[in-house]
Each structure stands twice: as C-alpha cells, then as structure tokens.
Chain A
Amino acid sequence: MSVGESVARKDGPDKVRGRTRFVDDYQPEGCWFGATVRSAIPHGRIRQIRFPSEIPWDRFVVVGAGDIPGRNCVPFLTEDLVLLADGYVRHVNEPILLIAGPDREAVHEAARAVEIEYEPLPAILTLDEAMAAGSTEGCAVPRPISIVRGDLDEGFAQADLVVEGTYEVGHQEHVYLETNGFIAWWEPDGQVAVRGSLQCPYYVQRALKMVFDLPDDKVRVIAAPTGGAFGGKEDFPSMLACHAALLSRAAGRPVKVVYDRREDFTSTTKRHPARVHYRTGVRKDGTFTACSVEFALDGGAYITMSPVVLSRGVIHASGPYYYPAIEVRGRCYATHTPPNGAFRGFGVPQAFFGIERHVDRIAARLGLDPLEVRRRNLLKQGMRTATGQLLKEGVSAAEVLADAVARSGYEEARRKPRLQDGVLHGVGIGLYMHGAGFTGSGEARLKSLVGMRLTPDGRVEILTASTDMGQGTLTVFPQIAARAMNVDFDRVFVAEPDTGRVPDSGPTVASRTVTIVGRVVQQLGEDLAARIRAFAAEQFGGDQEDYALSGDSVVRNSSGEPVASLAEVASRMHEAWGDVYLERGYRLNPEIRWDEARHEGDAYPVFAWGCVVVEVTVDPDTLEIHPVRVTASHDIGTVVNPTLAAGQIEGGIAQSIGYGLFEEVHWNAGEMLNPGFTNYIIPTTVDLPDMDVGFVENPFSDGPFGAKGVGELPMHGAAPALANAVAHATGIEVDQLPVTPERLLAARLEQEQRDTWEALGARGGAETRGGTK
C-alpha cells in the first residue's frame, strides 16, 4: 500500500478494543505511587517544612533537592530550570518535595498534609506587569530578537494610511485526554529506566543523565503510546521522568507518578500569552508599503523553550504577505507563573491572530473586502520573506486562498444581509503558513539518525525516536518505507521508541516527523532495498540492477518473475552477516543559509500553506457565537495518508476554534482558578460544525515523495477567522482571545460610548470653535 492511500492506522484495532496500554494502564509488581508537594506562593523563600504527626511518615519515602545525586536541573536550551525547589520558589505549584507510598489516595493525602512556611517576595504575575518592570528579575530573559528588511521610513512615507492594532492572547492548555505520567524503575546494574507519555525520548534521557550523573547506556527511556500531546509533552516529561526516578531510587522499587487532571492543569506547561502590535502602512488600493511589529511573550518563571517560541513567532509575524519594508521586534518576559512551553504552533498562532485580525482591520478602514486586501499582498514564488528567504519551492498562498474561498461560499456570504432568520451572520478568513522542521540550521545540528533493520523473516523494522501521539507515525513511516522499497505495507513496522534500541532521530516536534525524519526513512528504505538487490545478485547471479523488490518477493527486474521470497533472502542475509541493520542521518540541504544572530536567511527548508474560512452566527439575544460552516484548504505537499492528514487538519482547526471562542485560563495571585473541564472549556461535538477539508498538493523537492509537515499548520487560522467573522456579523471588533459573548458585549458598549462622545464632541466642537476648522 502506497503513499497517497488512506491506509487504516496500524494501532487502530488495539485502540478500539481498549487493548492499547497507556502509562497508567501498567501496574508493575510492587509499584508504588508518587505525589508532589508544591509551592503555594508565586515567589519567595522557604523558611520551614513541617511533617504533621497525623501522617504515618514511616510508610512513605520523601525526596527533596538534597537527594539529587547529580545536578538539580532539567536542561533544555538553558540550564536554569530547577528539578526541585531548593529553599526558593519562583511560581505557584513549583515542585518542592516528592513522596511515594503504596496507596495512591494515601500518598496524595500525605502530600497535601505537608506544611510549608514561606517568606513571600514581590511577584510579577502578568505580561503587563513584566513589560512595565522590564522584567529581568531572577532568570535572565532571552535576548530580544529583531528582523529588519527594507527601508521603513521610505515605506511609511509612501503610505496613504497607517493602521495600528494591538492583539492579545492568553494562556492555552493542551488538554490531551491522557494526563502526564511516568513509571520509573532501577535495574540491578544501576541503569535507570522510565516508561512515559512523551514526545522526545532523547530529551528525557539527557535530563536523567544530568540529574543522576549517568552515562548514556545507564539511562533508558521508553515511550508508551501517548494519549495526545500537542507539544505539552515535549519539555515537561523531562522533569516528571526525573521525579519518578528519584522516588524509585529512594523507595527501592518501581514508582508511578501520574497527574490527575487538576494537577496537570495547574502544574504543567501552557501556550505563551502574547501581545502583538502591528503598525502597517497601506495605500488606498490596499497594498502594504511597510510594517512594524512588536511581539511580546510571557515565558513564565523559567526559560524552557521560550527563545525558540519567540524566534518562530517573530519569523512568522509577517504572515503570508509581502512587505517592501518590515521590522519585527520580539521579546520574551519572565513572570512568576508556571513556565510556559511548547504548544502546537509554537509562537505562530499568537502571531497569526495578530496578522489576520489586522488585515481585516486594514480592509475595514479602507472600505475593501478583506479577501481583496489579502489577494493584493500575497507572497509568490520568487519573492523573499521578511528574513530574506527566497521562496524557491511552490508558494501556495494564492491557491489555498482561492480553493477555500470557492468551496466556502464566502463571496455569497459576504453579500447576504447580516440579519437572517433573527440571527446575525458573518464570515471570516484566516490565511497562514508554517515552516516545518527546526529553524535555520537546526536540522543540521540535530543530525537526525534513523535505523532500519531487515528481520530474519523478511520484515522491515524502522527504528526512530519519533513517537506516535495520535498523529499516525506508526502508520505513515511504514507507508513511506513500503513505497520506497516497493514491499507490502504489512511487512513494515515501527519499533517501540526505546532509547535502548532506537537512534536519536530528534524530537517529535516542529512538524518535522514526516518531512524530515520521514525523508531519512525514505532514503534508508532505498538503501536497504539496494543492499537486498545486491545480495540477490551475489546469490542468484547477475547484477544488482537485474533485481527488484515487489510485495513480499525479490523478482527479476526485466520480467517481474519471482526469484525468492523476501523471507528467504532475509534469512540468508542474516546467516551471512549476522544482522541486517542500516543507519542514516538527515542531511540538510547545504544551500540553506541562516544567520541566527541577525535572524536572516533561509528560516525553514519549506513552508506549508493553509486557509480556513469560518462562517458564524451571533444570537442577538445572548451574543452567543456559533461556527456554522468551516471550509479549509491546505498545501502540505504530497499527502502521504489523506485520512490521517485530514484528521490532523480537523483536529487542529477544532483546537484553534477552542482558542478563539472558549479557552481561557483565569488567575488569582499566580494560581490557576479553573483547573478542570467544568470551567476550562473546550469544544464538544455540538459546538463544531462539519468541516470541509481539502488539499492542494505542491510537492516539496526534499520531502519524502514530496511531503511537507502538517502537525502545527492547522492551528493558525480558525481563531482569527472567527474573530473576523464576528466583526463581519456584528460590526464589533474584538482583538483579544477568546472572543466570548462577554467581551463582545463589553466591546459593543465601548463602541457605543465612543460613538456617542464623538457625536457630542463634533457638535460641541463646532459651537465652541465658532465654525472655524
């Protein structure tokens, strides 16, 4: 079965029978449960810790910073993140102590009972406060990032109008249905092993090595089937794995730490809140002459992924549009809140809420249709992006826009009266792109290694560190390999991501799994097929070119006549060589040039493009907003598996609709007030319409069979499209997410007040000025 076919996912049958075992489905013999004692204040020193006598402490083990054999650090881009607070806390719910015991309810009871006395220090709790303070307090804030291109003064001078807007987005929680969890145990030879819900086995290995001061071969990380992640299991698992391992070491037995929903909400990473300010010079015909962007992120209390989130946000801040002159300045601030981390899109959804709302604002000021303003400014092949990257590969901005608009009935919806059947109607567009893979030379630095093994019975095993969190790695990699080798899909399978067996193909992030790692899978498949053909030549005579693989056999190339089964040939190869295992690394296109310091050059190997059109109704009695029609068009290059790809698009759009309409984290003194599904709202089945999802295929020359990345792309457009549709329906512009009925009402009252004052001012002004201008 080939690339381009909607093969049913390999792990589907187990999933629909409840046979798939997630972390909490394992209960090893004698395994204890772990719980975490966390900070109650956002910033301060720990004065005293008391263990009340009602708890039988001799039945538990308790672990603190002093029990860490290596470094008290969870390494990412920097080494500022502390594994366990050591006398000093930087955010509410920062881990301080760990407790393990035989009964799950009892160990959480014990954790709640611990009494901690603090000496509070002043805390910075919001982006506003941080920007006002220029917050560099405590952890050093990553340096600002700037992109400059063209002559801004000249650009603004040519503008007929300058349009400004400020757009704000808050935290977003991933809400994977399976919470974070790990099981840790120690082998007799001193090796620590963990099994967890995670995206990046080798990130976790790196952390364990540092915390326990162990070499590679003494640290084993196994990725369990992961029940959703969306970036929320990119960085956080490194901390949780080390916690579980510390407890296991102290208890002398396996320990399982699984967060309940409340703890997962309050204590793990979220999307960075952002404030984005656009200042755009435009001509009367809607074309852009210049743009200046200020991009501010709230990183929380530790740096974690912030420098890269900032970088990606800044690079994408210009959107799918061409500007003769553009400047983007980005800065990440620190606050005394739980550190924010990776979340699908990674700075880009924040930027696109700004960009796409701003385009509609520009259109409104000019009296043009927002579709028209987009059309007149699109990036095209041969143009350069804000970082100066020459767009050599197909640029599909115009195509996806046209396709989505055509299928959505947009133009008809724009022309119809706003009020129909007692309900207000509106339609809005989101147009976007996403650069797949690590930024710049990141993929060259990663040197992703993939392994491929021919088993003695002639099946093909793919060994990578890429995990399957629902997106279909276990299915798509075999499709690619099967096509590359021309063997049956059913003969190809993916090894469990276990650092004891698989090489480091890099993290399962950045929309890189298919387009980067999958590329190596394709190349390795071709290599392995060549080896098999060469061996066949040795065994059966002739040259390598005389043979081919087909289905489950080796055949004569000229006639297609089978020579031997793959199983037979594999068995002979194993006899001759002992094992048949190949490895290959990803080779980044050497033409890619990136200057990290100036953020200039080729940011990504290729961009994927998308457009979503959302139609909403707004109920005049309640201002309830409901998406009634969603139409999307995406260019992700060659679509390896249409059903799985459409599933990614539909899921990403749904997550963006949640971001746009419902999802909001409420805070009080640095603590999350709504850590549950009752008050952190994600869409249910009845909150979403059917979605019409289509693809425009513009193959990527360096992707496996032309595939680009898809994971994050669909996150970017629906939220701004919703806000734009609401503005169309009601005439009210809301520049903050989520666009709730409450915000809509408040914005309308504000607008009415402004109009009233303007009207009064105009009358009064004429009187006092006595008619002069």
Chain B
Amino acid sequence: MKVAFTINGRPHDLDVPGARRLLDVLREDLGLTGTKEGCGEGECGACSVLVDGEVVNACLIPVAQVQGADIVTVEGLEAAGGKPLQDAFVQLGAAQCGACTPGMLMAAYAYYQACARTGEDPLDRDRIRAALAGNLCRCTGYQKIIDAVWTGCEALRR
C-alpha cells in the first residue's frame, strides 16, 4: 500500500503493508531507531512520537492511518525547537539508562505545545506529572525528569 507522510520535515513515500506498525516503519524501514519499543502495548510510552502535533504511541498505529501526516520523532526534536528540553534533561540528570528518554521528551514537548495553544502556564509540577503519566521510567523515580521538564519549559518560554 502506498503511504506518504512527512517525518522531521522530510517527505517520505513508502510502499508498505497498511497494518504495519508505525514503530516498525520508523525503526526498521527508515532506520530511525531513536524511538524505542518498551512493551508493544501502548502502556509504557517509550515509542511516543508526535503525529500532527499530538503525542501518540507508535506501537499502536497502523502506518496507513498516518497518510499525509506530519510526524516528529526524537531525531527531529532539536530542529522542531525542543533543544532547551533536551539540554535540561542532560544538565539536571533526567536521563539515566536513556531507554525512556526519547518518549519522555516527545511527551514533554507535546505538553509544552499544548500549553502554548491553550495559554495555560506550563510551569506546574502537577500538570507536568499528569502530562507524562503515560511514560514509564524505572531508573529515575521521575524526580529529575519533572525538574528538567519544568526547566526546559521555562527556557522555551523565554
């Protein structure tokens, strides 16, 4: 099946089975291995990507359903404007093993964008926690991730 979409600003035209998981298209067909598979069931958020600005689990999306969509993965986060978040993660110790990190960053960036759209103040620890509740981490206890998202959002606002 012919499927066309944009990833990190670049157009792609593929011929793939329509039910193939977006996650597998990203990792195996396009070599974008930054997005991780943690469970394959949409429970851990390690495969989070942005599709038309919304954060979703790539392991649950049949690729035919992103026809014409604008997709951003962790590889494109810097170009999309997410560097302050990434820098905060590095500086504040929010990444330990790094397996959850790409998904966390995408969820954090989506949170920031959603706040920008609605005018809500992103600098609220409880709201940050709620926005990241679909991303499991086993190393950090989330403490420094929340710190980094707060700091990253603050930097993005400036």
Chain A residues with a Cβ under 8 A of chain B: 6, 8-9, 11-22, 24-25, 27, 174-179, 225-230, 260-261, 469-472, 643-644, 646-647, 650-655, 676-678, 682, 684-686, 688, 690-691, 693
Contact = CB atoms under 8 A, between A and B. Distances in A.
B44 A12 contact: no
Given A16-B95, A654-B138, 11 more contacts: A8-B93, A17-B34, A18-B35, A18-B101, A177-B137, A227-B99, A653-B141, A655-B138, A677-B136, A678-B43, A686-B130
A9 B95 contact: yes
B144 A650 contact: yes
A643 B144 contact: yes
Interface in B45-102: 46, 73-75, 77-78, 86-87, 89-93, 95-102
A651 B96 contact: yes
A386 B17 CA distance: 65
* 6 shortest interchain CB distances as A-B pairs: A18-B34, A470-B97, A654-B141, A227-B99, A15-B98, A470-B96
Contact of B125 (A652, A655, A684, A690): A690
B97 A228 contact: yes
B18 interface: no
Highest count of chain B CB atoms <10 Å: which of A260, A471, A684, A693: A684
B75 A9 contact: no
Interface in B1-55: 27-28, 32-41, 43-44, 46
A175 B46 CA distance: 13
A678 B41 contact: yes
A260 B100 CA distance: 16
Contact of B141 (A16, A177, A688): A688
6 contacts: A9-B93, A9-B95, A16-B95, A24-B33, A652-B141, A685-B135
A13, A14, A228: most-surrounded residue (chain B CB, <10 A): A228
Interface residues of B, number: 55
Contacts of A11: 98
Contacts of B153: none
Given A650-B140, A685-B146, A644 B41 contact: no
A17 B138 contact: no
Specify which of B46, B92, B98, B136 lies most central, judged by the most chain A CB atoms within 10 Å of its CB. Answer: B98
Nearest to B137: A177
Given A9-B95, A17-B34, A17-B75, A650 B141 contact: yes
Given A651-B138, A688-B142, A646 B34 contact: no
Contact of B39 (A225, A227, A677, A686): A677
B144 to A, nearest CB: 6
B132 interface: yes
B6 to A, nearest CB: 18
Given A15-B95, A678-B41, A177 B73 contact: no
Contact of A17 (B74, B92, B132): B74
A411 B44 CA distance: 38
Contacts of A8: 90-91, 93
Contacts of A691: 141, 143
Contact of B96 (A174, A472, A690): A472
A469 B97 contact: yes
Given A8-B91, A261-B41, A650-B143, A227 B97 contact: yes
B55 to A, nearest CB: 14
A177 B136 contact: yes
B125 A22 contact: no
B139 A228 contact: yes
B138 to A, nearest CB: 5
B110 interface: no
Contacts of B125: 690
Given A16-B89, A227-B99, A261 B146 contact: no
B28 to A, nearest CB: 7
Contacts of A682: 136, 138
A177 B99 contact: yes
Contacts of A647: 93, 96, 139-141, 143-144
Given A18-B75, A676-B43, A9 B138 contact: no
Best-buried of B77, B95, B97 by chain A (most CB within 10 Å): B97
A494 to B, nearest CB: 16
Interface string B94-137: 01111111100100000000000000000001001110111111
Nearest to B147: A690
B139 A18 contact: no
Given A22-B99, A654-B141, A686 B38 contact: no
A471 B96 CA distance: 6
Contacts of A684: 133-136
A177 B95 CA distance: 12
A507 B139 CA distance: 20
A241 B47 CA distance: 26
Contact of A25 (B33, B41, B137): B33
A677 B45 CA distance: 11
Nearest to A225: B98
Contact of B73 (A18, A21, A643): A18
A229 B99 CA distance: 11
Contacts of B133: 684-686
Contacts of B33: 18, 21, 24-25
A690 B93 contact: no
Contacts of A261: 38-41
A100 to B, nearest CB: 17
Contact of A676 (B41, B46, B77, B101): B41
A12 B134 CA distance: 22
A686 B39 CA distance: 20
A473 to B, nearest CB: 11
Contacts of A225: 97-98
Contacts of B137: 177
A691 B77 CA distance: 29
Nearest to B31: A27
A706 B35 CA distance: 40
B91 A685 contact: no
Please indicate which of the listed interface residues B44, B135, B139 has the most CB atoms of chain A within 10 Å of its own CB.
B139
B139 A677 contact: no
A690 B95 CA distance: 17
A678 B97 CA distance: 23
Contact of A227 (B34, B78, B98, B135): B98
A6 B74 CA distance: 26
Nearest to A261: B39
A21 B97 CA distance: 11
A16 B101 contact: yes
